[in-house]
Amino acid sequence: MGVLDGERFATGEARLDAGDTLFVYTDGVTEAMDSSDRQFGETLLKQVLSECAGMPSAAVVDTVMARLGAFVGGAPQSDDITIQCLRSCVGETPMAIDASRAA
């Protein structure tokens, strides 16, 4: 999600149909380590995300953060952890955004 000055990135487009979810995260999620220096990893992240199928975006973020917290336990955080989760509501009634959740 971060952008470095002078770096060039490819651009593209993707269509999200009703109910599709886009989940974007920094490497601090997959590289988060427990007290034995094991990383959370992409495999575990994919497993958690598959369990979140159909959930509202906020619930997906809450679930991933809870599982990540349980995984790392008391180990110190070594990198930023940033997550964005968007769910397409084309043709659906959008949910209100709870501004009090913003940190």
CB atoms within 10 A of CB 91: 8
How far apart (Å, rounded) are the C-alpha atoms in residues 14 and 45? 22
- Per-position pLDDT tens, the chain of length 103: 556 788 887 888 888 888 889 999 999 999 999 999 999 999 999 999 999 998 999 999 999 999 999 999 999 998 999 999 998 876 666 555 555 554 4
Longest dimension (CA), the chain: 46
Parent domain of 46: 21-91
What's at 16, amino acid-wise?
L
Residue 53 lies in a domain: yes
Residue 102 lies in a domain: no
Residue 32 lies in a domain: yes
The pLDDT, as a whole number, for residue 7 is 82
Residue 97 lies in a domain: no
Q: Rounded to two decimals, what is the model's pTM?
A: 0.79
